[in-house]
Chains A and B, each alone.
Chain A
Amino acid sequence: MKRTCIFQDTERMGNTTGLLEAARRLYGEEAFDTCGVFLDDPGDHFHGIFSHVVRVTEGLMDRWDARAMTGVLEKLHQQHDFDSILIPATTLGKMIAPRLARRLQAGLVSGVTDILRQKDSIEIIRPACSGRILEGIRFSGPAPVILSIRPNAFDYTPDASPGGGLQTNVSEYSAPATARSAVKQLHVEKIKQTRDIRDYEVLVSGGGGVKERFSDLYPLAAALNGTVSASRKLVDQGIAPRAIQVGQSGKTVSPKLYMALGIHGSMQHLAGLRQVDTIISVNTASHAPICSLSDIVVQGDTGEFIDRLMEKIMIHKLNNKDS
C-alpha cells in the first residue's frame, strides 16, 4: 500500500483537506495510507481521516524553523518510507519542501494546482510564467516525490476518500532537533483583517483603473455582503494590502460574484480566478482580457459606475426599510 505524508502548516490548517484530496488524485482508486504531521496542534479533528497522526512535541522547535521541521520530516521518512510527501505551498511550506527534496535526493514539484491521471501515468500540473502557462510534469524516480500544493487548489470530497472512518493511530515525535535555525522572532504586528477574501461569496475587486477611488470599493462591497480584493498592480503600488491580492502571486478565489473594477485581466490575475459563477467587469476598454470572461461588461469610468450603482443600492435599501 502506498504511503503519503501530509505536513500541516499550523498557520493554515484549512489546507489540510485540500492536501488529502491531492493525495487521493495521486493514487486514484489505489488504497493508500495517510500520515498527518502536526506541529503545535494535536490534530484531533483529523481523527478518522488520517491513518496516522504524528504530533510534534510542543516546544521542540519554533514553528517558523524550516530547518528543524525539515529534519523531522526527514526522520519520519526514514522510519515510514513514504511514497509521497505533500506540503502546503505556504511561506513555511515553501521553505521546507526544497530543503527536504535536497536532503532526500527526491523529486520536487512546487506550487501544484492539479493532478491528472491518464491510464498508467500521472501528470502533475503547476502554473509557470506568472500563470500564462501550465506545466505538465511527470515523475519517474525512486520514492518519495515531494509536492508542494498551492492553497485552495483542491477541494476535498469526504465520501470519495478511502481514509474516511479510519482508526487513527496517534504518536508523538519528540526526538531533539538535529539542526535548528539561528532565527529569533522579535515582534509580531497583526494586520487588521476580519476574514480571508477566499471565504467570501462576493468580491469587489480593484485594479489600476480604480486606484484613485479604491477606498470607495469598501462601501460597495459591504452593500453586496462581500469584501474588497485587488490586483497585483494596486498591491505593488502600496494601495492595497497583499492579503487581498488575487492572482498567481496572490490568492486563488472562487466567489459567486466577482466584480472587476478597472482590472485589465492579465494572465497572472486570471490565474487567481477559479470557478467564479459570475463576473461583472467595468472597464473603459471593452477588449480588456477580463471582459472576455465576463457575463456583463460595463463600458465606462469605474468611479462613475460606483457612484451610480451605490445611489441605486441606497435607494433600494431605504425603500426596503420603509416598507
Chain B
Amino acid sequence: MKIICAVKFVPDVDSVVNIVGTATGDPETIRTGRHPRMILNPDDACSLAFALQVKAGNPGCSVEVVSAGPLSVRPHMEDLLRLPVDRATLISGRFFDEGNSSGRHNSSVTGDLLAGYIADRPYDCLLTGTQTLDGGSASVPVQLAEALGLDQMLGIIRVDPHRFDTRRAVFEVADDTRITTYEMVMPCVLSLTRESGYKLPYVKLTDMRRDVSDDLTVITAEELGFSEGEEGRTGSFTRVMNIYPKTYDEKDRHIVQNDEAGITEVFDFLKAEGFL
C-alpha cells in the first residue's frame, strides 16, 4: 500500500508573544517581536502518525511526505525522514519565500502545487490534516482533492486499521451531535483532526544522527510546470490587505480571594444579577 501525507509546517502560534499589526499581504509572514518557532501542523502530525502506524503493521506499505513551503522548513522535512518516512519532497519556490508580500500565496495555489506533484506519483491514499494552526480554513485538503478528482472527508477522528487497504477506508467523523462511520473508496483524501490522538513515534537515537540531507527531494513550482504568472491563476482575487492583532477590551476587574469574603461577594453578585 502506498500512502502520501501532505503536511505543512506552521508557526507555533502559541509561542508568539507579540504580533505587530501591519499588513504583510502574506499570511505566512507573521511579523512578530521574534521569529516564531515552526512546528509540524498538529492535525497533519496525526495523519502522518496514523500512516506510520499502518506502515509499522505492514512492511509492504510505503509512506511519502510532501510539503509545499519555504526552503527554511528543510531541516524539519529531514526530521521526518528520520522517523522514518520512505520519501520526502519539499515543493518550494518564489511563492513561499519569506518576505514575499505579493499576497497571492493562497490555499488554491498550494492545492494546485501539491496536486501537480502528487498526480505523477503512485498512491492508494492521501492523508492530510483537517486544518492548520495558522490559516485554519481547511481549504487545502479540499482543493487538493478537487484538483485530483478525488473524494475527500474532513474531521476524521479515527480510521479503522482493519478496514484500511488499497480498496477502501472506514473511518469515523465527529460533529456536535454524533459520530458517523463512513466507508470511502480508494484512492481518496482523508483529513484527520488532532482529536484522533495518533502520536508520532520517537526518532531512534541512531536515526537522529543519520545524515539525510541527500534524501530530501526539493523541487520548484517551475519544475512542476507552473509558470510565474500562474500563481494568481485561481483564488487570487482575494488578497490580505490588513492584519489586525486581535484585541479585547480590558475590564476594570475586581480581584477577590478564595475565602469567605470573596465567595460571598461572588454569591451576592450572582444573586443580585438574577442567576440564582
Contact = CB atoms under 8 A, between A and B. Distances in A.
Contacts of B16: 129, 132
Interface in B145-163: 145-147, 151-155
B176 A196 contact: yes
Interface in A292-322: 292-301, 304-305, 308-309, 312-313, 316
A254 interface: no
A97 to B, nearest CB: 7
A268 B262 CA distance: 29
B83 interface: no
B185 interface: yes
B133 A130 contact: yes
Given A110-B139, A292-B251, A145 B237 contact: yes
A129 B238 contact: no
B183 A186 contact: yes
A202 interface: yes
Interface stretch (B60-68, B117-125, B208-216, B266-274): B266-274
Contacts of B13: 129-130, 132, 267-268
Contact of B235 (A101, A129, A305): A101
Interface stretch (A29-37, A50-58, A135-143, A209-217): A135-143
A238 B27 CA distance: 31
Contacts of A163: none
Contact of A111 (B137, B147, B170, B234): B137
A182 B139 CA distance: 21
Interface string A242-253: 110000110000
A286 B262 CA distance: 14
Given A98-B146, A300-B258, A141 B19 contact: no
Contacts of B146: 70, 98-99, 102-103
Given A105-B234, A145-B237, A190-B177, A298 B137 contact: no
A305 B263 contact: yes
Contacts, number: 277
Nearest to A134: B244
Interface in A8-25: 11
B134 interface: yes
Contact of A94 (B154, B245, B266): B154
Interface in B176-222: 176-185, 188, 194-195, 197
User: Interface size bucket, B side?
Assistant: 35 or more
B124 to A, nearest CB: 14
Contacts of B257: 298-300
B267 A313 contact: yes
Contacts of A282: 258
A188 B174 CA distance: 10
A271 interface: yes
A292 B251 CA distance: 6
A94 B146 CA distance: 13
B11 interface: yes
16 contacts: A101-B139, A110-B138, A111-B137, A129-B19, A129-B133, A133-B30, A184-B184, A185-B181, A186-B181, A186-B183, A236-B194, A242-B195, A296-B266, A297-B256, A298-B257, A300-B257
Given A106-B237, A186-B170, A299-B262, 17 more contacts: A94-B138, A97-B142, A99-B143, A105-B233, A107-B235, A128-B134, A128-B136, A132-B246, A137-B241, A183-B182, A187-B181, A236-B195, A293-B248, A299-B255, A299-B257, A300-B257, A312-B267
Interface of B: 11, 13-14, 16, 19, 21, 23, 27, 30, 107-108, 111, 131, 133-140, 142-143, 145-147, 151-155, 170, 173-185, 188, 194-195, 197, 233-246, 248-251, 253-260, 262-267, 269-271, 273, 275-276
